[in-house]
Amino acid sequence: MNSHPNHIVIIMDGNGRWSKKRLMPRSVGHLMGASNLRTVVKSCVQKKVKHLTVFAFSTENWRRPPEEVATLFDLFVRYLKTEIAELQEQGIRLRVIGDQSAFTPELQEQINLSQRLTAQGTVMDLTVAINYGGRWDILQATRAWQNAHPYESLEQLTPEGLEPYLCTHPLPEPDLLIRTGGESRLSNFLIWQCAYTELYFSEVLWPEFDDHELQTAIDWYAQRVRRFGKTDEQIKGSLALKRDSKASVVSAQASHPSNSASSTNVNNANNANNANNATNSNTTRPLFLK
């Protein structure tokens, strides 16, 4: 069983269908979807999720009507401009992955600025994939590896050697992938990184995917057994060893409380002696030698 996902990725699907059900333009659905991202980000922070990656625009989405593509990019720019202050306040680091060569210079500059302003965030990593495709990522990573190793053959390339060149580096591999909107496919998203990710498909359209739905997905994940190629018996054995080891440590501490107390006293005494020595040293050394 899994305690908690460290890295969640979400394919935010269903904005257009949400609008269609309400006889509204698709642009309204995308606007609601962008607003809902703010809600889900806050929920992930509250749930102590360390990494959140969302799929905003795929390399295949260029096939959509030009006006819809323009709307999506306009929303992305507005999100960068309006959400940065709050991301900074909450300690969230923003990263944008994907092929940015197709973006206007203004958009590229806004992306770089947003990433710089949030670079010190340590509460959570928010990664937005825009103009991203899994096949493109593997291809560009392979080319980058070859450029970095011009005198080596591709036969020398290993999975471990390729990973530093993927867009998602140095993020950990995803634990849980959530796709909203009722579809059950990856759609070329993080196909290398999600080799062992638990896949959760929700019927809920993205604008309606709230904190309750997110918790439902996390609870589902907690019941999964992640084998990574091992058998059930091996997994159970590893869990039993961890429990026994933890129980032994607790039992030893309970049986010898005086040892813990004496150890604490010794540490306190050492700290006091170190402090006195430091004080005496400071009174004899010139200031510039401190």
- 111-143 confidence digits (pLDDT tens): 999 999 999 999 999 999 999 999 999 999 999
pLDDT at 252: 60
Which one of the listed residues 2, 61, 99, 188 is annotated catalytic?
Answer: 61
Q: Is 61 a catalytic residue?
A: yes
The structure's pTM equals 0.79
Does residue 266 register a pLDDT over 70?
no
CA distances from 232 to 135, 158, 238 (A): 32, 28, 10
Of 37-41, 189-193, 232-236, the poorest mean pLDDT is in 232-236
Question: CB 129: neighbour CB atoms within 10 A?
Answer: 24
**What is the percent of the chain where pLDDT is above 70?**
77
Which one of the listed residues 13, 125, 137, 175 is annotated catalytic?
Answer: 13
pLDDT at 171: 97
pLDDT at 247: 56
Kindly report the backbone phi and psi dihedral angles of residue 206, in degrees, each rounded to the nearest multiple of 5, phi listed first: -55, -45
Helix (H) or strand (E) holding 92: strand 92-97
pLDDT at 251: 59
End-to-end Cα distance, the chain = 52
Cβ(111)–Cβ(80) below 8 Å: yes
Cβ(204)–Cβ(213) below 8 Å: yes
Q: What's the mean pLDDT when you consider all of the chain?
A: 85
Cβ(194)–Cβ(6) below 8 Å: no
Cβ(60)–Cβ(13) below 8 Å: no
Q: Angle at CA 171, nearest 5°, toward 165 and 174?
A: 110
Mean pLDDT of 47-70: 94
**How many Å apart are CA 158 and CA 169, to the nearest integer?**
16
Q: Is 74 a catalytic residue?
A: no
Kindly give, in sequence order, each residue whose CB lies less than 8 Å from that of residue 111, ignoring residues fewer than 6 positions away: 80, 96, 100, 103
**How many Å apart are CA 119 and CA 164, to the nearest integer?**
19
CA 181 to chain centre: 21
**How many Å apart are CA 151 and CA 63, to the nearest integer?**
39
